[in-house]
Amino acid sequence: MTTGSVDEQQEAEWMEALCQGDRRAYQAIVDRHGQAISHYAYRMLGNRGDAEDITQETFLRLWLKASQWQASKAKLTTWLHRITHNLCIDFIRKHSRMQALEDSNELEQEEQMSWQGKEPDAPDNEQNDDERLEQLHRAMAQLPEAQRSALMLCTYSGFSNQEAADIMAISVKALESALARARRNLRAVLFAETSGA
């Protein structure tokens, strides 16, 4: 039996216990998935306060709707990310725009470097790093919801194309198309900014 299947079996047992009101099982699931859910919400919304609210709402729904999860249809991580994804999209639509990414300085140094595809201790001018990170944030904010979601799930959260498509409730082909458009649009926006257009 692989580690993945052991984890999935353990999570199925936790979910069964959770359906009976077991708070320890609930806490075990929160401990295992809380950080990934929080990071995804933050990357979607760009604001820690809003991301915390979405994370709390995701786990509230886990508590209230645990019986709706079906192991045969989705891994628990996929199901939780789908809830988070839908909450983020609802939030963005409700506010008719993505929250401004004013607090980019809150990003840990490692996360800043990972957004730029660099190792944390790669030598570079700190001011240039901050400028590039801000350019990337602005460019990401300009992407349509589906493109931004596809990029976040596949590039930054590490989901396979199939898992990301399941989370977004679209076909793999549509996901791959959104990813390609996202990368193309991101390059175009970043090129326009750096060329002063």
Domain boundaries in the chain?
1-99
Percent helix, strand and coil across the chain, each to the nearest 5: 75, 0, 25
More confident of the two residues 155 and 84: 84
Quick: pLDDT tens for 11-70.
999 999 999 999 999 999 999 999 999 999 988 887 889 999 999 999 999 999 999 999
DSSP assignment of 60-113 equals HHHHHHGGG--TTT--HHHHHHHHHHHHHHHHHHHTTSPPP-TTGGGS-HHHHH
Distance CA(147)–CA(54), nearest Å, equals: 20
CATH of span 1-99: 1.10.1740.10
Lowest mean pLDDT segment, chosen from 7-16, 22-31, 80-89, 144-153: 144-153
Band (pLDDT 50/70/90 cuts) for residue 115 is very low
Average pLDDT, the chain: 81
